[in-house]
Amino acid sequence: MNLKEITIDGNVYDLVPRKEAIPSENTILNSKNTGYERGREGEQYFFESNCYPTLEMYYDWREKMDNRVFNNAGYYTDEKLAMANIRADRLLRQLRRFSAMHRQNKIDWADCNSFKFSIGFDYEYQDLQVNRWSQCRYFGEVYFDTMELAEQAMVNFRDDLMWYFTEYKDTATFK
């Protein structure tokens, strides 16, 4: 039986199927508690509000906004993970802006004879370092046109960079 409308107390109501964009790989209950999985309906979740480094908390009622936040990968069931990701994402944006605003030369990835520089961490010596690249580009890294600019970024953002490389965890699974 395929109902399109229903009559209750003399009023006719259209029946519209509810469509929810919930990824199949992230079922409501996940065997791992990563902090990224979809919570149960009615449970609270956290997300970054616009570009402000603040955390919002809502309850998931499987409505359009809840689905939009989840599908844009800004949905967290773990508050500590949400705050850490907000901080890490903000650091990435700050470094990207710093590089773009202070860059003197175009970074040309087709030119394998010119060096590009990024910030890394040496776990043996427990300190930041500048890496030099000519033909390899890695997803998510921020590149600088000179070693001096990368070193200046290391100085300017040292505290957050040290936190990122030594304390930041990208999942709630391994606390």
From CA 44, how far away is CA 118, in angstroms rounded? 38
* pLDDT digit string, tens, across residues 79-127: 999 999 999 999 998 999 999 999 989 899 999 999 999 999 999 999 9
H-type alpha helices, 110-157: 147-156
In this prediction, residues 68-88 reach a mean pLDDT of: 88
Is the per-residue pLDDT at 45 higher than 70? yes
* pLDDT digit string, tens, across residues 10-23: 776 666 555 444 44
Is the per-residue pLDDT at 43 higher than 50? yes
From CA 155, how far away is CA 175, in angstroms rounded? 29
Q: Of the given ranges (69-73, 111-115, 167-171), which has the lowest mean pLDDT?
A: 69-73
H-type alpha helices, the chain: 64-71, 79-102, 147-156, 158-166
Q: pLDDT category, 24, cuts 50, 70, 90?
A: very low
DSSP string, 23-63: -TTS-SS-SS--S-S---TT-EEEEE-TTSS-EEEEE--S-
From CA 91, how far away is CA 142, in angstroms rounded? 10
- What pLDDT shows up at residue 21? 46
- What pLDDT shows up at residue 4? 66
Q: What is the pTM (predicted TM-score) of this model?
A: 0.71
Q: pLDDT category, 2, cuts 50, 70, 90?
A: low
Nearest CA to 62 among 30, 18, 24?
A: 18
Q: What percent of the chain has pLDDT over 70?
A: 77
Q: Contact, 13 vs 5, CB < 8 A?
A: yes
Q: pLDDT category, 51, cuts 50, 70, 90?
A: low
Q: Of the given ranges (34-43, 47-56, 107-116, 144-153), which has the lowest mean pLDDT?
A: 47-56
- What pLDDT shows up at residue 62? 85
- What pLDDT shows up at residue 34? 67
- What pLDDT shows up at residue 74? 82
